[in-house]
Amino acid sequence: MPGDWGWLTYPSHGWDSINEMDEFFSPIHTYQVCNVMTPNQNNWLRTNWVQRDGARRVYAEIKFTLRDCNSMPGVLGTCKETFNLYYLESDRDLGTSTRESQFMKIDTIAADESFTNVDLGVRRLKLNTEVRGVGPLSKRGFYLAFQDIGACIAIVSVRVYYKKCPAMVRNLASFSEAVTGADSSSLVEVRGECVGHSEERDTPKMYCSAEGEWLVPIGKCVCSAGYEEQRDSCMACQLGFYKSDPGDQLCAKCPPHSHSESRAARVCRCDSSFYRAVQDPPSAACTRPPSAPVNLVSSVNGTSVTLEWGPPLDKGGRSDVVYNVQCRRCGADAGQCEACGGGIRFVPQQMSLVQGALTVTNLLAHTNYSFWVEAVNGVVAVRHESTGQNSVTLLWQEPDQPNGIILEYEIKYYEKDKEMQSYSTLKSKGTAATISGLKPATRYIFQVRARTSAGCGRFSQTVEVETGKPVSLRYDTMTIVWICLTLITGLVALLVVLICKKRHCGYSKAFQDSDEEKMHYQNGQGKREIPVAIKALKAGYTEKQRRDFLSEASIMAQFDHPNVIHLEGVVTRSKLVMIVTEYMENGSLDTFLRKHDGQFTIIQLVGMLRGIGAGMRYLSDLGYVHRDLAARNILVNSNLVCKVSDFGLSRILEDDPDAAYTTTVWWLSQAAPEAIAYRKFSSASDVWSYGIVMWEVLAYGERPYWNMTNRDTPFNRTLLDFSSCLTVEDWLDSIRLGHYRDNFAMAGYSSLGMVMSMNIEDVRSLGITMMGHQKKILSSIQAMRSQLLNTNGPRRHL
């Protein structure tokens, strides 16, 4: 039969659900059994169906107390000091249709310490904690079961959990959270995904151990070109910095005479009139062509001439300066010159001279010659003058020794690394050309060659140029106004057409409900999608649980306030009963504050409290008592607006201003003194809880009263008020043990004064064998004694 937690017990005279006080007078719920007088006990207690949620191995933490058999006379042959733990896997909730033979045994559990009569007399609770692993699991869910074979035991709590490795970023690889393996020695391999703007150097992997810890990182990711590592992420290089290749290196400052036009630059572009040679790496400074040589001197000797010159005053920032000499033979008219021809000899050579001296022999007598000495370096051949989003302008020099008159130049260009796929050519009559129609932000390779009457020469060295990045369009004010007017006109026309279709396009006299018409007008044929939060009732619920669940929705449906959670709807026709509310991005207030500890101003914190206070005043004006106001039940949206939620315990007050409702569920650290002492709640007790919420907010989610126990918490002395109990029957009813009235009456306990003198042996002599009931009676007697001793007013005759 189901207990208070919905657990099943078999047989009916075995396990019992008991609410009682612990050694600190705090209420606890337990399952107890103490059939030690009868041999061959076989009492079963089964939990609800627990969904596995992807776990392959789970752990059960059991807290329990067990009585020493030696402390009970006459039970040595039948009393046991152990119990058995079982589990059963299934793909669905089986309800009550489970059999003992279906369960698999996990372990036999014994207590590290057991209690005796002495412990009962001084209210000492010897709590044992045992953890057992359950697995491997493969089905959707499972049950836990406890088999009693004759022990006197009370199960105080059962916690079921599984271990997982948390999500993390390691070596620029993001690893999602991973559930541990099926056994204690297994390692689960998880492959990481490179974070944004990074790429694999070696495949990143890590292993999740059975203890939920990451082990053995393998491989890593590195930041892509244009990005550098910063705090487990790859950030774009700032303006003035670049990174040419993927790797661990940081962004470097642009070399001299270069700049980056945007963030995440892979190479720095050269400033105007500066260039970078083909063989220069991206880290090399941009340079420019040298100036002309100086102090050119000639010395004629017969049919030879010696030329000498000095180096250029400006070498362009490079050390690879060489000299080329051009020879022209001119007629009587100095304006008509032609190449000297092939019979002339240059010593040591005509091109790429390192020294500033040259001898030219085999010249013709009585002939005019002109010589030009040119200084060149690595950036002279072909260079780009300017770069646009879709175009590049190139400059180049004439060949040193063309094979005839140059008719035109041919420019060959293609996308980098795609020459074999396709390339394009462009013709130019001069030594400059602008190539257009290029793709934005793309690297292109350019080469130039000359064509004479004898044919085409060789292509020059390659020049690599990257086009500019696309620029977002910008419109002037009038253009924007015209675009907006056009869009508005189109939308109005479309809306008229839709409304016309809805109303069958005419002067229909058919009646239509105004709300329905409004809904059609608002939504048309489309759908309005908003993010929501869903609270679902777990499978296997009872009809009472369903009514209680829906009662919360019925309460929420009556509220309409910006600081109270808004109900979007209720789903009851599906198999899963759901409450749909507005979505609050930042979750519960206590968790949100702990996550952002110290990040808000006092004005922001007070603003949160004002919002909560406004919501609670609204509820109070409607006559509702929340009864569970705490930071954990306050939700926060993206705008830091706080809204009161969780109305599972809310009640409306009667017309009587003193009316209040009782409950058995509350948090002592949040509850008002009268709520603890008398189990009564009112709007005044909500005000007390609001003060505790103020504590939590200003302390960034810190637990009220720090780490103090419920016993030490101010005002939380949970002694019942027995002043209203006039008879033994009233007292038994107040502690919910009224079915023992006859036991007390037959034993002659006719007044509370006689009851207050009872001890454990007296209670047992009444035939009360349940340990939980014995403890509950003794706790209440002790509470009455304490109240009597602490009473300052006139004493009641007992």
Q: What is the structure's pLDDT at 792? A: 42
Instruction: Specify the pLDDT at position 539.
Output: 75
* 797 pLDDT more than 50: no
Same domain, 37 and 150: yes
Q: How far is CA 37 from CA 9, 75, 77, 738, in A?
A: 20, 6, 9, 25
At 734, which helix (H) or strand (E)? helix 728-734
Residue of 789 and 344 predicted with greater confidence: 344
Burial 77-94 (b: 16+ CB within 10 A, else e): ebbbbbbbbbbbbeeebb
pLDDT in tens, 84-106: 999 999 999 998 888 999 999 99
Backbone φ and ψ for 324, nearest 5 degrees, come out as -120, 140
pLDDT above 80 for 689: yes
Task: Answer yes or no: 628 catalytic.
Answer: yes
pLDDT tens across 590-620, in order? Answer: 999 999 988 888 888 999 999 999 999 999 8
- Residues in CB range of 138: below 8 A, 6 or more apart: 56, 89
Distance of CA 565 to the CA centre of its chain: 24
Give Dmax (Cα) for the chain: 156
Q: How far is CA 751 from the centre of its chain?
A: 63
Asked if residues 68 and 55 have their Cβ atoms less than 8 Å apart, the reply is no
Q: Which of 346, 376, 406 finishes a domain?
A: 376
- Residue 673 covered by a domain: no
Q: pLDDT band at residue 50, thresholds of 50, 70 and 90?
A: very high
| Range of lowest pLDDT (207-211, 576-580, 611-615, 714-718) | 714-718
Residues 543 and 627 in one domain: yes
Lowest mean pLDDT among 58-62, 624-628, 650-654, 744-748: 650-654
Structure tokens at 625: 């008592």
Q: What percentage of residues in the chain have a pLDDT greater than 70?
A: 82
Do the beta carbons of residue 107 and residue 60 sit within 8 Å?
A: no
State pTM to two decimals. Answer: 0.44
Radius of gyration for the alpha carbons in the chain, expressed in angstroms and rounded? 45
Residues 25 and 149 in one domain: yes
- The beta strand positions in 537-588, using DSSP E, are 567-571, 578-582
Catalytic residue among 119, 148, 590, 628: 628
User: Is 113 found in the same domain as 86?
Assistant: yes
Q: Is residue 19 part of a domain?
A: yes
- Asked if residue 472 is part of any domain, the answer here is no
Q: The domain spanning residue 595 has which CATH number?
A: 1.10.510.10
Give domain status of residue 214, yes or no.
no
State yes or no: pLDDT of 794 exceeds 70: no
Least confidently predicted of 220-229, 330-339, 514-523, 616-625: 514-523
Residue 116, pLDDT score:
82
Distance, first Cα to last Cα, the chain: 40
Alpha-helical segments (H) within 376-416: none
Same domain, 548 and 694: yes
> Are 371 and 388 found together in one domain?
no
**Same domain? 699 vs 760:** no
Let me know: does 382 contact 396? Beta carbons within 8 Å: yes
Report which of residues 232 and 335 the model is more confident about: 232
Read off the tokens for 187: 């390692």
Same domain, 550 and 696: yes
- CATH number (domain holding residue 746): 1.10.150.50
Considering the domain boundaries, does residue 150 fall inside one? yes
Does the residue 227 lie in any domain?
A: no
Mean of the pLDDT values across residues 722-748?
A: 84
Distance of CA 30 to the CA centre of its chain: 37
Structural domains of the chain, count: 5
pLDDT of residue 279 exceeding 60, the answer is: yes
Asked if residue 47 lies in contact with residue 143, where contact means CB atoms within 8 angstroms, the answer is yes
CB distance 29 to 155 below 8 Å: no
671 vs 235, higher pLDDT: 235
Tell me what pLDDT residue 525 has: 41
Q: What's CA 477's distance to the chain center, in Å?
A: 41
Q: Which of 430, 449, 467 delimits the end of a domain?
A: 467
CA distances from 155 to 26, 118, 598, 736, 764 (A): 16, 21, 41, 20, 22
Mean pLDDT of 363-381: 83
Residues 442-452, mean pLDDT to the nearest whole number: 88
Q: CATH no. for residue 156?
A: 2.60.120.260
**Length of the chain measured in residues:** 798
Encode 689-710: b = buried (16+ Cβ within 10 Å), e = exposed.
bbebbbebbebbbbebbeeeeb
pLDDT over 90 (residue 144): yes
Which structure tokens are listed for 398?
Answer: 């004439």
Residue 734 phi/psi, 5-degree rounding, is -65, -25
So what's the pLDDT on residue 657? 35
330 SS3 class: strand
Q: Assess contact for 21 and 676: CB atoms under 8 A.
A: no
At position 119, the amino acid (one-letter code) is D
The closest of 145, 108, 113 to 128, measured between CA atoms, is 113
CATH number at residue 318: 2.60.40.10
pLDDT at residue number 793: 40
Using the 3D structure, point to which of 421, 448, 467 is the last residue of a domain: 467
pLDDT band at 142 (very low <50, low <70, confident <90, very high): very high
Q: What's the pLDDT score for residue 517?
A: 26
For residue 610, how far is the Cα from the chain centroid? 29
Beta strand extents in 350-494 (DSSP E only): 357-361, 368-376, 382-387, 392-396, 406-415, 424-428, 432-435, 443-452, 455-456, 463-466
The percentage of the chain sitting over the pLDDT mark of 90, rounded to a whole number, equals 27
Residue 746 belongs to domain spanning: 728-788
- Write down the pLDDT at residue 524: 38
Q: Please say whether the beta carbons of 59 and 135 come within 8 A.
A: no
Q: How far is CA 712 from CA 122, 666, 717, in A?
A: 19, 17, 8
Residue-level pLDDT at 626:
86
d(CA 325, CA 358): 9
Query: Looking at this protein, which amino acid is placed at residue 577?
Result: V
Q: Report in angstroms the alpha-carbon separations of 214 from 202, 363, 580, 752.
A: 18, 84, 38, 63
Q: Which two tokens stand for residue 258?
A: 């270069």
Per-residue pLDDT reduced to its tens digit, 293-333: 999 999 988 889 999 999 999 988 888 899 988 888 887 66
> Per the structure block, which two tokens stand in for 657?
């201003």
Place of tokens 């189109």: 490
Is residue 493 in a domain?
no
Using an 8 Å Cβ cutoff, are 346 and 358 in contact? yes
Identify any residues that bridge with 359 across adjacent strands, giving them in sequence order.
306, 347
Q: Are 482 and 476 in contact (CB under 8 A)?
A: no
- Please state, rounded to an integer, the average pLDDT across all residues of the chain: 81
pLDDT score of 694:
92
**pLDDT the model gives residue 497:** 52
pLDDT in tens, 746-773: 888 888 888 888 888 888 998 888 877 8
Apex CA 606: angle with CA 601 and CA 607, to 5°?
A: 95
CA atoms within 13 A on the CB side of 434: 8
Rounded to an integer, the average pLDDT of 403-409 is 81
Query: Sorting pLDDT into bands at 50, 70 and 90, what band is 540?
Result: confident
Q: Is residue 631 included in any domain, yes or no?
A: yes
- More confidently predicted of 708 and 336: 336
pLDDT of residue 663 exceeding 50, the answer is: no
Whether 433 and 307 map to the same domain: the answer is no
HSE (CB half, 13 Å, CA atoms) of 505? Answer: 4
The more confident residue out of 5 and 62 is 62
d(CA 136, CA 102) in angstroms, rounded, equals 16
Check whether 564 has a pLDDT greater than 90.
yes
The two structure tokens encoding residue 70: 């030696």
Between CA 174 and CA 180, with CA 176 as vertex, the angle to 5 degrees is 135
pLDDT for res 606: 92
Q: Do 23 and 143 fall within a single domain? A: yes
DSSP-assigned letters across all residues of 654-699: -SSTT--EE-S---TTTS-HHHHHH-EE-HHHHHHHHHHHHHHHHT
Contact assessment for residue 392 and residue 466, using Cβ atoms and an 8 Å cutoff: no
pLDDT tens track for 479-510: 565 566 666 666 656 665 555 554 443 332 22
pLDDT on residue 660: 33
Helix (H) or strand (E) holding 617: helix 602-621
* Residues 359 and 428 occupy one common structural domain: no
pLDDT value at position 383? 65
Query: pLDDT band for position 49 (50/70/90)?
Result: very high
Q: Are residues 26 and 155 in the same domain?
A: yes
pLDDT for res 518:
26
CB atoms within 10 A of CB 633: 21
DSSP for 243-298, please give it: --SSBSPPPEEPPTTEE-SSSS-SSPEEPTT-B--TTS-TTSPPB------EEEEE
